[in-house]
Structure 1
């Protein structure tokens, strides 16, 4: 089974639980990402997504300037070993109903992140290759 090493993003935008929420949002904006992994001693402790900001702050009328990442991050972050198989990650995503899963090394430290979008890109590449194989085996279309 292919491992996630082929698609894991090793550069992860992260912050501490004490990071002001406004700074978390600025990180998302500056880095053009939809999530920030919240780490404590290099270990993932939570995740703040753009959806969390929209629901927990904007929709509820919360004052973002008085909140920290710990106030809105998920209580329990799902992680996966960096040498896990692709189907293992998809299973974790489906079971936990999440679109982002931090990858950890053998010590439990943050080693990367895998997102649903990474799988969409991977699938697109695989389908393109499949299409090329099929096209090579069929006669050309006669467009009259």
Structure 2
């Protein structure tokens, strides 16, 4: 529906490879290699996400393999290297609590979560924390594959529904490769920044070129008379 923002449920992958907390180290590594996945959610017996195991969680095993991980003198900058090096199950290796997202979260909210926590994917959970899917960076970028005609329709809807229902004349909307160009004249130029912000928020918009101007002024044909 035009004007309705995409949410995580629209783009997430519903078939997810996941682990139980008892999964062992080599099984985890094999699963990552087989499915070409760099991180896996870890579930409890009820299917709730309790953590995530990533390749970074496995690497300390290699980093300390030629040294005794029980040796407290072994340097570990983040303080967790020794613990991870000794770990052998998903429950011991996982980062917990997991950073998750709700299916009804907007793509912008999911993107901010990924950026804030520096992760490439998020388990999608319901209100009880049960795994429903997974959303990745590439999933969030899929909206930029929308066709220009679809984007233009949403832009026109936003303009008509919110601000410019009675412009001086119809607003021109052109979209090329996701870049929106707005042309025409509006009655109140103070609303233009808000128009641009609304258009930029439409899913799939790459950029906005705003060429909107104020109302046309009729020429004063008789300078001796006051302009109306």
TM-score, length basis structure 2:
0.51
2:176 aligned residue: 134
Give me the whole-angstrom Cα distance separating, in 1, the residues matched to 2:23 and 2:85.
12
Give me the whole-angstrom Cα distance separating, in 2, the residues matched to 1:91 and 1:37.
20
3-state SS of 1:95 partner: helix
1:18 aligned residue: 22
3-state SS of 1:10 partner: coil
- 4+ residue stretches of structure 1 with deviation over 4 A? 62-66
Larger CA Rg, structure 1 vs 2? 2
Greater RCO structure (CA 8 Å; 6+ sep): 1
Match of 1:83 among 104, 123, 130: 104
> Any idea what the Cα deviations from partners look like across 1:54-110, whole Å, max 9, x if unmatched?
3x2222327989611122211221111111111111111122221111001233210
TM-score, length basis structure 1:
0.77
Say how many residue pairs are matched.
130
* Structure 1: tracts of 5 or more residues without a match: 136-144
User: Residue 35 of structure 1 contacts residue 48 of structure 1 at CA under 8 Å; is this kept in 2?
Assistant: yes
2:145 is aligned with 1:125:
yes
Higher helix proportion, which one? Answer: 1
User: Residue 21 of structure 1 contacts residue 64 of structure 1 at CA under 8 Å; is this kept in 2?
Assistant: no
Distance 1:29 1:64, change over 3 A: farther
* Equivalent runs, 1:1-144 vs 2, <5 Å: 1-40=5-44, 41-54=46-59, 56-61=60-65, 67-120=88-141, 122=142, 124-126=144-146, 129-130=147-148, 133-134=175-176
